[in-house]
Each structure stands twice: as structure tokens, then as C-alpha cells.
Amino acid sequence: MIERFLTESGLSATAFGVLAMKDPRFVHEMRAGREVRRATRLRVVACMRDARTRDGGTRPVCPTEHGGRDEAIEI
């Protein structure tokens, strides 16, 4: 799910980690097998959902608050 989002958005793994979690290593650590808590999953999913709904060609800015239903995230 995250890898597909990175491809679609053109964001690097580092840029997404900073936007979604304020952690430039977030995606790299997930690729290495890092487990994430439910609150983290919600935040990442909300970030991707918000970025997909924005238009105008600007870089996505992810929300700091999570929302929506709990979804599994896949690297």
C-alpha cells in the first residue's frame, strides 16, 4: 500500500516518512520489518487518503490527526 502510494505520488520514502510521521526513516524501517501500532496505521492511512483527495498538483501535506476506519498498511 505504501509502495504503491509512493509510486503514484512521486514522493521518496524519506519525504513520505517526514510528511506522515515526522520520521525520515519510517518507510525504510517498515521495509526492514518494523511493526507499527494501530494509531500509527491510522495516521499513515489518513495521510495517504488526504493526499489522494487533494488536487492542484501540490505535494501532499498529511494531517496530524488520524481519522477513518482502521486499515492495515502494507509496505
Q: What is the pLDDT of residue 9?
A: 85
CB atoms near residue 67 (< 10 Å): 11
Closest C-alpha among 4, 42, 35, 38 to residue 20: 42
C-alpha cell at 64: 496530524
The domains of the chain are located at 1-53
C-alpha cell at 42: 491510522
Choose between 10 and 33: higher pLDDT. Answer: 33
Average pLDDT for residues 12-27, to the nearest whole number? 94
pTM: 0.72
Element (H, E) at 36: none
Question: For 30, phi and psi rounded to 5 degrees?
Answer: -65, -40
Chain segment 24-59, per-residue pLDDT in tens:
999 999 999 999 999 999 999 998 888 877 755 455
